[in-house]
Chain A
Amino acid sequence: MPSTPVTADRAPAGTTVLECRDLTVRFRTDRGEVAAVSDLSFDLRAGECLGVVGESGSGKSQTFLAAFGLLAGNGRASGSIRYRGEELLGAPPETLDRLRGDRLAMVFQDALSGLTPTMRIGDQLAEVLVRHRGLPRREAQDRAVQALAAVRVPDPGVRARSYPFELSGGQRQRVMIALAMLCGPEVLVADEPTTALDVTVQAQVLRLLRGLRDETGSALVLITHDLAVVAGLCDHVLVMYGGRAVETGPVREVLRAPRHPYTRALLRSMPSLTADPDVDLAVIPGQPPDLENLPPGCAFAPRCGRAHDACTADRPALRATGPGRASACHLDDAGGHHGV
């Protein structure tokens, strides 16, 4: 947001700001250990928008909760997640407190529970600037109003004096985004930011996020179950299934020519405004994977129409299939032709 102080040492566009290597997130449960994320690696570059797509239990949220040091008490992460070279996994609380809300920010689906119910909106925003930037309260209050204006909250001066319950769902999500953007973060993670909103408001919020990304050069991670949301906003996409990356690549190419059977099936199962509505939707049979009972081979094999013996025996590795693209499927020999 133009009115906020932007730190001088921003990573130049195109350099890696977040580097995730071999991330595994496990949770201890009554029935043993469950791996929510397994061997996940990806890079996020300055100014880039990465869409992380998956169903419930795919590990898409846990990945970033781990990066932010926000895993539940029974969870633990191994591997490495570096922000501009600085290791986040296992970092001391002071390090995380310094980075979170400042260099690294997160917006959650449920904006109401992300805001303090008993504090005025403006005070909540101002507090971040007092704490992270050491601004005098008065100046912080003024900037809070500017921040609300920047995310197009109507009557920002009035709204700054409102409590969260007085705002609509769309306005609350704007406030959450304003809060996250206050210190000009280098990485903004938005976890299903529009899932609870109406389509009309969803489109507004997506536009807003893209505008902020363009203005500030922040890297944006959009976690979503909806490939359609990714299409309009993201540069790259990471498709997750059963805690692993199954396909990754530039959004345009992945949506145009998906390689992994799961990505393909997901796209075909989505009702659209253009397909013949009298033709039944292509269905992915079965249920999303049960993390407590993942099959030994490919987690998607039980639902995949083209699975053969190798798919149930060995887990396919994520292999490069072209420039910037990778897919984890035995049927996808790199670069080779394969039918749909």
Chain B
Amino acid sequence: MASDAVLRVANVTVDYPLGRAGLFGPRRILRAVDDVSFELAPGECLGVVGESGCGKSSLGRAILQLVRPTAGSVSFDGVDLCRLSTAALKPYRRDLQVVFQDPLASLNPRMTVAEIVGEPLAVHRPGIDARARQREVDRMLERVGLRAGMGGRYPNEFSGGQAQRISIARAMIAGPRVLVCDEPVSSLDVSIQAQICNLLRELQRETGVALVFISHDLAIVRYMSQRVLVMYLGRVMEEGRRDAFFAGPRHPYSQALIAAVPVPDPDRDIAGEEALLAGDPPSPANPPSGCVFRTRCRHAVAACAGDRPPLETLDGGARVACGRWRELAGN
């Protein structure tokens, strides 16, 4: 990965306090993100995938400093955001923006659309006069596929897909360099998902914004991303370039995730029992020893419970954390 990364996430760990085990017991923590590192080049899209509870949303929030990482660094343009005070962070907020899953919940119901979309300009370019701001808002609304005249309406007058367009307009208006999208199409109808995915792709091409695209849907991640990062119980299991990753996932967890994706092909069966994961992910509050995936891995052997497999960097930059992947690839 190039040295010109716009975002460099290094060894980020996010702990949430769980309270004490019993009245006088030790303080317990839930490690939602455990030693995650990656780099993001300008204009690139990194897809972050995993099941619920894998820490992908916490990672997104840590990048945005909406939760402060317990350890590690998040460098934007070489500046470690984790070391900045809330006040010192403010100028960086225009560079790092976010689109959440539920658009209606993330839009203030008492503000008009024009106020919502224009607010980042008011904050980050306080000198801008009202007319210029209005022009910018109208331009942005039209860019995301809404009519400029809709600016006077309130969020509850819009469908989910339109509301997500408003969220995207708000996120993009100040010209961010990094956009974190946390399940941005998961709550939308199928016919609307494609509209929003295409819009994000166009904006990425036009503005060169880099995306961190968090999703549980591998088909959408394949469509959106140049690289894919697979997380399980807070840890990176595998990372790779899109085509290589989908053509030959190395980690047994990645293989199982891809096998489970339903496809609209009547000749392809639902993934067979042997390819399916048994059960649910264990609680992140009490992760297994050694490889955290071993309790659901059909290739697990006794050694997997011992040392945690390191995240190995391979030729070409792909990374994989499995003690057996070479051996399994040989079969």
Contact = CB atoms under 8 A, between A and B. Distances in A.
Contacts of A206: 262, 270
Contacts of B269: 232
A136 B276 CA distance: 38
A31 to B, nearest CB: 14
B148 interface: no
Contact of B264 (A255, A277, A288): A255
Interface of A: 55-56, 154, 168-171, 198-204, 206-207, 210, 225-233, 251-252, 255-256, 265-267, 269-274, 277, 280-285, 287-288, 303
Given A55-B191, A269-B190, A200 B276 contact: yes
Contacts of B262: 199, 202-203, 206, 226, 228-229, 231-232
Nearest to A284: B191
Interface of B: 51-52, 159, 161-162, 189-195, 197-198, 201, 216-220, 222-223, 242, 246, 256-271, 273, 276-280
Contacts of A203: 259-260, 262, 270-271, 276
B159 A287 contact: yes
A199 B186 CA distance: 13
Q: Which of B259, B260, B269 has the most CB atoms of chain A within a 10 A radius of its CB? A: B260
A39 to B, nearest CB: 23
A281 B223 contact: yes
B264 A271 contact: no
Given A231-B268, A266-B190, A271-B197, A287 B161 contact: yes
A228 B222 contact: no
A272 B266 contact: no
Contacts of A270: 190, 194, 219, 264
Contacts, number: 136
Given A252-B266, A288-B192, 15 more contacts: A55-B190, A169-B280, A170-B280, A198-B280, A199-B262, A201-B280, A204-B278, A231-B265, A232-B262, A232-B270, A251-B266, A256-B266, A271-B193, A281-B197, A283-B194
A223 B236 CA distance: 35
Given A227-B264, A255-B265, A271-B222, A171 B280 contact: yes
A169 B189 CA distance: 22
Contacts of A55: 189-191
A327 to B, nearest CB: 18
A202 B222 contact: no
12 contacts: A169-B52, A199-B51, A199-B257, A200-B256, A200-B277, A225-B190, A226-B190, A228-B263, A266-B190, A270-B194, A282-B194, A284-B194
Nearest to A303: B191
A269 B51 contact: no
A43 B198 CA distance: 38
B113 to A, nearest CB: 16
Nearest to A232: B270
A6 B201 CA distance: 54
Nearest to B145: A285
A55 B51 CA distance: 24
A287 B196 CA distance: 12
Contacts of B273: 207
B261 A199 contact: yes
What are the 3 closest A-B residue pairs judged by CB atoms, nearest first?
A: A228-B262, A232-B270, A269-B194
Contacts of A266: 190-191
Q: Which of A200, A251, A303 has the most CB atoms of chain B within a 10 A radius of its CB? A: A200
Given A199-B257, A207-B270, A282-B194, A228 B220 contact: no
Nearest to A168: B280
Contact of B162 (A200, A202, A228, A287): A287
Contact of B222 (A170, A227, A277, A284): A277
Given A271-B223, A287-B162, A199 B266 contact: no
Contact of A199 (B159, B191, B216): B216
B270 A273 contact: no
Contact of A280 (B201, B242, B259, B279): B201
Nearest to A229: B262
B194 A154 contact: no
Q: Which of B201, B256, B262, B280 has the most CB atoms of chain A within a 10 A radius of its CB? A: B262
A228 B242 CA distance: 22
A255 B264 CA distance: 7
A56 B189 CA distance: 7
A233 B278 CA distance: 20
Contacts of A226: 190, 262
Contact of A198 (B51, B192, B195, B264): B51
A200 B51 contact: yes
A271 B195 CA distance: 11
Contacts of B197: 271, 281
B246 A207 contact: no
Nearest to A53: B190
Nearest to A233: B270
Contacts of B216: 198-199
Contacts of A280: 198, 201
Contacts of A229: 262
Contacts of A199: 51, 216-218, 257, 260-262
Contacts of B201: 280
B194 A228 contact: no
B246 A273 contact: yes
A228 B223 contact: no
A97 to B, nearest CB: 34
A271 B265 contact: no
A229 B52 CA distance: 20
A271 B221 CA distance: 9
A274 B262 CA distance: 12
Nearest to B201: A280
A151 to B, nearest CB: 13
Contact of A271 (B194, B242, B268, B270): B194
